[in-house]
Each structure stands twice: as C-alpha cells, then as structure tokens.
Amino acid sequence: MTSSTRRPLVAGNWKMNGDKSLVEKIESQLNQAKLSNMDWVICPPAPYLGLFSSSTKLGVQNVSQFDSGAHTGEVSVSMLKEFGCGYAIIGHSERREDNFESDEIVAQKVAKVLEAKLTPILCVGEPESVREAGTLFDYIAAQLNAVLDLVGISAFANLVLAYEPIWAIGTGKTASPEQAQEVHAFIREHLAKQDSNVAVGIVILYGGSVKGSNAKELFSQADVDGGLIGGASLNPEDFLSICLAANQ
C-alpha cells in the first residue's frame, strides 16, 4: 500500500470454525507482538464474542437488516454493539450463496451497520466463470453500485471493502499480486468517479488463500491495504505472520 492516509487492516474471518480455546490462543499470540502500524480484527462465530478481552477489536460475519422482532436465528446490530463489536462482514460470497443474499439485501445490511456506527466490511468478488467470460469489472461494479445507490458515496468514508475472488477462497489458489492490484485499482477508480477523496481514503482488503508466505507481496501492491483471512486466521502463528506483513 502507498497512501499514508490508509492504515493497514487484517481481519480474521473464522467462518463456522474455532472453539473457546482458540480465543485465548489468538489473543496471547497477537498481544505479545508489537503491531503498532496496523489494526487487526477477529470475526469469530457470534457465541464467542463475549469471551474476548476488551482490547481485541471484534467483528461479526453477518448481521440482520432488521432492528428487532420476529426474525428467528438473526442477530441485530444493537446486540453486537453490547458486546463491543465494531465491525461486521457484509456480503461474503458464502452468505450470498448459502443464504441467497442479493445485492439489495447486502445493501440494506450495510445501511443498517452504518446507521449503528459500526464499520461494515463489504465483500465483493467474482466467480471464476465471470472472470473467464471477461465481465469481471461489470460484475464488481454492479455489486458496488447496489450499495452506492442505497447509502451514497459519502457513506463509503466509513466502510471497509474486501475484494475476495470466489475462486481463490479456501482453494489455495491465491490471486496473483498483479490480479489483486488490478481489481483493487478498478474499485478505487470506480469510487473516484463519484468522490476522489473517499476513493483515496478507503481501505480495500484482499481475501482468498492469504498465507504468511504470500501476504507480504500482496500487501506491497499500491491499492491492497490488508487482508480478510479465512483458514490462516485459525492458526495463531499464521495469523500473526500475516499481521506482521501488514505492519511493515
């Protein structure tokens, strides 16, 4: 990353993994390290949120677009705030697919998180078929536009973006640094058409098979400001090495 205005961020998305003992292991490993040039966030399954110490920045992997009421199985933003949760991953491709979350629902969730003054980590990213068909940029633009249309460009000053190509998630097939940079630069240019200051300031994470061994090269790209980490966030040493790569 190059802009001095953007602070690197590494977020661990545990997905439906981990246990109580991992909470302690991650905290002791990360708290020993001097990570003064970046922020790290853990997004565990919701039941574990209350087990973390207050110094750990926390996020969730999903939140309801509704305030309260008859929505069995859902969790509201106000509940998350009570547990000191500052971030919410919204629009992860696994939720878009498994839970049929459309671009419109994703936009509603982003709006709800922003309204509560939490930071959405809005995920976008294409399936392999879209990349092969050559319609990658249209696809990413449509995902962004659904949210832009609802909340407006100025709200993007308060959110984090994550580019996660679906073909790279959990496959070991990481996007090359050049492939990541190309899409991150496109996203920034797309936002710059509406507001260049917002575009320069927004943190854009890369996600998809990030490991200690490839993090440094990915994060050295001009428009890659950190990572959204799945599998490697479950191993305290691997997660720490990724955080150290962002801290440089």
**Does 231 help bind ligand 13P (rule: CB under 6 A)?**
yes
**Does 228 help bind ligand 13P (rule: CB under 6 A)?**
yes
* Closer residue to ligand 13P in complex, CB, 121/136: 121
83 class by beta-carbon count within 10 Å (0-12 exposed, 13-18 middle, 19+ buried): middle
Q: Report 60-99 residues binding ligand 13P (CB under 6 A).
A: 92
**Does 120 help bind ligand 13P (rule: CB under 6 A)?**
no
Pick one of 210, 218, 242, 246: the residue that binds ligand 13P (CB under 6 A).
210
* Closer residue to ligand 13P in complex, CB, 14/52: 14
> Which phi and psi angles does 38 have, rounded to 5°?
-150, 170
DSSP letters spanning 127-162:
-HHHHHHT-HHHHHHHHHHHHHHHH-GGGGGG-EEE
| 190 among known catalytic residues | no
* Closer residue to ligand 13P in complex, CB, 64/231: 231
| 164 among known catalytic residues | yes
Strand partners, 42: 12, 58
Q: Report 155-194 residues binding ligand 13P (CB under 6 A).
A: 164, 169-170
CA 91/CA 98 separation, integer angstroms: 11
> Which phi and psi angles does 229 have, rounded to 5°?
-110, 125
CA 70/CA 54 separation, integer angstroms: 31
* Stretch near ligand 13P under the rule CB under 6 A, chosen from 78-86, 133-141, 223-231, 237-245: 223-231
Pick one of 208, 215, 226, 240: the residue that binds ligand 13P (CB under 6 A).
208
